[in-house]
Structure 1
Amino acid sequence: MDKITLLQTFVVAANEGSFTRAANRLNTSNQLISKYVAQLEKHLDVRLFNRTTRKIHLTEAGQQCLLHANNILESVNDMESQLGLLHTQAKGVLHVSAPVSFSTLHLSAALAAFQNAHPNISVNLQLNDRKVDVVDEGLDVALRAGHLASSALVAKKITTIKLALCASPAYLQRYGTPTHPSQLRPEHYLEYAYVNYDNDKSELLKALKANAQKVPPKLIANNGEVLTDVAKQSDGYVLQPTFITGEAVKRGELVAILKDYVPQAISLYAVYPHRKLVSNKLRVFIDFISNYFEDTPYWDE
């Protein structure tokens, strides 16, 4: 029997002054009350009650035990109330990991709107394009783009992310606009360091992989914004999400090419450890950003 139940039974018996009245109060049997008190006495190695045929009286040890038991049970009640409040109210610190470029270009505005709607939630945001360990790094949630491998983590789709192969108008004027991936010049490829060629079987990715094996790419970087800025300087072509390249394409600084060969769209997911034990602060965060970005995000409209 757990110690909290033993203490609760002891306190009721002490307050009622009778095992029989304590049994009626707790809707149980007189024998079970006596058994629980005996277990507590054995555990503490003291006698808590002096018993008569009709009444029970606290011993000196029992009086001391009653003071401690009341304090313990009050602390337990306070703990349950506080934890229940955290579960039902959106408050506390939310630890979030997110990709660098997506955060600087789009998530910052979403976070500002989120905190206006939920002022009692403080966000600790860590930006990193590597795959972080949500559990080991003490995170509540990680935003990840791509095709997720199966794991014990829970993943909820936030939005769709399209990819685009882009080059500047000046680059295309100088070298021509390719109509097939085989026409790409591998020495002009601006490669994202974390690209995974094995997750998609598109003809374009096969060509990029084959080209990279023949000739080193012009530039490899772990930041898509840097690669996109280099491409705008007429220095090569880049494969990046439209949330990075979209504005440059709209302004005419880049041109999307080989649209029929671009890999299939990927997704942005919120990845977190538990399905049942989700805090309210995390639940409202996921719901908010899902509604904010929607399945077709604003940068693709």
Structure 2
Amino acid sequence: MDKVQAMRIFVAVVDAGSFVGAADKLNISPQLVSKTLAQLEADLDVRLLNRTTRRQHLTEAGQTYYLRAQQVLDDIESMELQLTGMQQQPRGVLRISAPVSFAIRHLPPALAAFQAAYPEVVIDLQLNDRKVDIVEEGFDIALRIGQLESSSLIARRIAPIRLVYCAAPAYLARYGEPADLAALQTHRYLHYSYLREPVLDDAQQVLRSNNGDVLVAAACAGQGIALQPTFIAGVDLAAGRLQAILTGVTPAPLGLYAVFAHRQLLASKVRSFIDFIDGYFGDPPSWDAF
């Protein structure tokens, strides 16, 4: 039995004062009204109405159930109106997972602009370079950098991500510039833990880290050569603290993706953020201007 529908029918009977009046109000048959109330009383194992040939009276249990049923139905209506409003006007908490370095360097202006356009959205931003499970961990959106893999999740490409080999001018003056990838085997190398580079497995990896900012800082200090995205290294390349090398070598292209769980019935706050962030950084993005 549909308990919510049974509540609606019971409340309508009490309000209308008769089965026929309730049936007219709900656009159902009086027989269905009678059958539903009988099933409800049997399920509750209590009499709600004392019926006579001319009218019915609430029992004590019926009076209690009527008041509680009204409250439940009001709560359901309020919730449905609220959810409908959330679909129409972006509001509520938007949980986003994003990579650490990218978020720190490039997300604050984007988030500020988004919230200026949608002031009723509260952003809960969690930074993590691992691949979070957005469903299990309760995220609305995950921003991910990499190559798009087959998945049951939905992904939209937000911006291109370009990788460059780079080193400080002082390092290159001391150790020379490698002519090709094979020559990197003889150089000091700064390795990003999450990036698989089989060609460099035998290189002299003097520093490994799961954070690109640490590696770029080490490269600027002359500690070795790093392969890093331009959204981290671009500022130092533009300022001359780093120099791009092996420019004829093109690492596999990556992308910044917005990943989310569903395409249909997407909450307005999620849809609005994805539409907003798509194209926000430009193509080519501003961090490639060096």
TM-score normalised per structure 2: 0.90
| 2:214 paired with 1:211 | no
* Cα separation, partners in 2 of 1:296 and 1:99, compared to 1, 3 Å: same
Q: Is the 8 A contact 1:186 1:211 kept in 2?
A: no
Alignment of 1:156-235 (within 5 A): 156-197=156-197, 209-212=198-201, 214-235=202-223
TM-aligned CA deviation for residue 239 of structure 1: 0.6
Identify the residue that residue 259 of structure 1 maps to in structure 2.
247
Find the residue that maps to 1:218 and give its secondary structure: strand
Identify the residue that residue 20 of structure 1 maps to in structure 2.
20
Find the residue that maps to 2:259 and give its secondary structure: strand
| 2:53 paired with 1:65 | no
CA offsets 1:200-229 (integer angstroms, 9 cap, x no match): xxxxxxxxx2432x3441211121122112
Q: Is the 8 A contact 1:158 1:295 kept in 2?
A: no
Q: Is the 8 A contact 2:219 2:225 kept in 1?
A: yes
Identify the residue that residue 37 of structure 2 maps to in structure 1.
37
Amino acid in structure 1 at the alignment position of 2:82: Q
Structure 1, unpaired ranges of 5+: 198-208
TM-aligned CA deviation for residue 266 of structure 1: 0.6
Q: Is the 8 A contact 1:221 1:227 kept in 2?
A: yes
Between 37-46 and 279-288, report the one with greater CA deviation: 279-288
TM-aligned CA deviation for residue 231 of structure 1: 1.5
More helix by share: 1
Amino acid in structure 2 at the alignment position of 1:15: D
Find the residue that maps to 1:259 and give its secondary structure: coil
Amino acid in structure 1 at the alignment position of 2:270: L
Find the residue that maps to 1:260 and give its secondary structure: coil
TM-aligned CA deviation for residue 99 of structure 1: 1.0
Amino acid in structure 1 at the alignment position of 2:21: R
CA offsets 1:91-110 (integer angstroms, 9 cap, x no match): 22222221111112111221
Aligned pairs, number? 289
Q: Is the 8 A contact 1:96 1:123 kept in 2?
A: yes
TM-aligned CA deviation for residue 234 of structure 1: 2.7
Distance in structure 2 (CA, Å) of the matches to 1:186 and 1:85: 62
Identify the residue that residue 250 of structure 1 maps to in structure 2.
238
TM-aligned CA deviation for residue 118 of structure 1: 2.4
Alignment of 1:257-296 (within 5 A): 257-296=245-284
Q: Is the 8 A contact 1:141 1:272 kept in 2?
A: yes
Distance in structure 1 (CA, Å) of the matches to 2:127 and 2:47: 60
Q: Is the 8 A contact 1:98 1:125 kept in 2?
A: yes
Q: Which runs of 4+ in 1 moved over 6 A?
A: none
Distance in structure 2 (CA, Å) of the matches to 1:161 and 1:47: 69
Identify the residue that residue 236 of structure 1 maps to in structure 2.
224
Q: Is the 8 A contact 1:165 1:262 kept in 2?
A: no
Q: Is the 8 A contact 1:186 1:217 kept in 2?
A: no
Structure 2, unpaired ranges of 5+: none
Distance in structure 1 (CA, Å) of the matches to 2:232 and 2:63: 70
TM-aligned CA deviation for residue 283 of structure 1: 2.0
What is the RMSD of the two structures over their aligned residues, measured on CA atoms? 2.1
Distance in structure 1 (CA, Å) of the matches to 2:64 and 2:225: 79
Find the residue that maps to 1:261 and give its secondary structure: coil
Q: Is the 8 A contact 1:95 1:124 kept in 2?
A: yes
* Cα separation, partners in 2 of 1:185 and 1:175, compared to 1, 3 Å: farther
Find the residue that maps to 2:240 and give its secondary structure: coil
TM-aligned CA deviation for residue 53 of structure 1: 4.0
CA offsets 1:86-134 (integer angstroms, 9 cap, x no match): 3333222222221111112111221222222222222222222122222
Distance in structure 1 (CA, Å) of the matches to 2:147 and 2:2: 46
TM-aligned CA deviation for residue 277 of structure 1: 4.2
Identify the residue that residue 200 of structure 1 maps to in structure 2.
none
